[in-house]
Structure 1
Amino acid sequence: MAKWFNVGKIVNTHGIKGEVRVISRTDFPEERYKVGNKLYLFLPNEAQPIELTVKSHRTHKNFDLLVFEGYENINLVEKFRDGILKVPESQLKELEEDEFYFHEIIGCLVKTTQGEVIGKITEILTPGANDVWVVKGENGKDILIPYIHDVVKEVDVQEKMVLIEPMEGLLS
């Protein structure tokens, strides 16, 4: 059974030339939406995914706008609304050291180097210079952990464990 990874959701059409508006869920939009790349569209009431080839990509506001080969008309893409774009596991590339896919990090247990359990990573924010990992604390509050070497000391995606050395004030 193939493993699929969500890269975006088609939320609407854009214009009349077959462009679709996508809320991106991928770590690498510039790579995933590159012209010629294959994406697979999963629709709510369809058994099989539709294989699509990216014809064009651009960003507009907070959306990625895509056109697919053979679907250059609004009438052909209206049915794509609410569909989920995915890629098979075989399309995931090897990452550099200290780089991780979001799905590898989300769900990891976070502990301090002193052994104190902080909570589990529930979300990853990408505000700019570095990612920020949102940890649901033991008390139910969200704790924001910057993914920088001064704070994150060890990441073990096999064991779903992250060790941090909290900076002063980070956990208060």
Structure 2
Amino acid sequence: MKKEDCFYLGKIVKKYSFKGELLAKLDTDEPDLYDNLDAVFIDLRGNLVPFFIEASQLHKSDLLRLKFEDVDTEADADALIKTELYLPLDLLPKLDGDKFYFHEVIGFTVKDKNFGDVGILKGINDSTAQALFEIDRDGVEILIPMNDEFIGKVDRKHKTIEVNTPEGLIDLYLED
């Protein structure tokens, strides 16, 4: 399994017991969807390794308590702390309407209600306080905040995202 065929589920943050149980912080709005998993992939030095789950249950609101097969001691558990958890993309719940996963809209054409075709969505920068669409317009990068008020419609069939940005925002990137 390759990382590009998977999505990031969360990270193992600490041990829970002396019997090899671990707590993982999940990167999801709906942690209960991942309560009954059979297995996850763990990133061990750049390789995704499958780990089979003996038992799991939600712990507090966003933590998942995990007991993996063959992880029975504190030392086994220590080796997995701070590792990242992944699942295959086909296990992502389907989103409809104007909700989307970042990876599924890369390559979509972004169209602005006033400006017209802006360009092709090359990436999403979510390392800032507000996530940004990174759009390529003939070699010029245009950044548009991923604000619910700006996003009009996500059309999966035609691979387009309609936005309605404040007048002049796109022009700022195109002026010499």
TM category (shorter chain) comes to 0.5 to 0.7
CA contact (8 A) 2:59 2:65 kept: no
Percent of residue pairs bearing the same amino acid type:
22
Residues 1-172 of structure 1 mapped to structure 2, 5 A cutoff: 3-10=5-12, 12-14=13-15, 16-17=17-18, 18-22=21-25, 24-26=26-28, 28-34=29-35, 36-45=36-45, 48-52=49-53, 55-59=56-60, 64-70=62-68, 74-106=74-106, 108-113=108-113, 114-117=115-118, 120=121, 121-124=123-126, 133-136=131-134, 142-148=143-149, 151-157=150-156, 160-167=159-166
**TM-score normalised according to structure 1 size:** 0.64
CA contact (8 A) 1:19 1:65 kept: no
Q: State the shift of 1:100 in Å.
A: 1.8
Unaligned runs of 5+ residues in structure 2 are: none
CA contact (8 A) 1:33 1:54 kept: no
Query: Secondary structure in 2 aligned to 1:76?
Result: helix
Question: How has the CA–CA distance of structure 1 residues 95 and 119 changed in structure 2, closer, same or farther, with 3 Å as cutoff?
Answer: closer
Alignment length (residue pairs): 158
Higher Rg? 2
Rounded to whole Å, the distance in 2 between the matches of 1:79 and 1:19 is: 11
CA contact (8 A) 1:20 1:77 kept: no
Q: Supply the RMSD in Å over aligned alpha carbons.
A: 3.7
Query: Secondary structure in 1 aligned to 2:154?
Result: strand
Unaligned runs of 5+ residues in structure 1 are: none
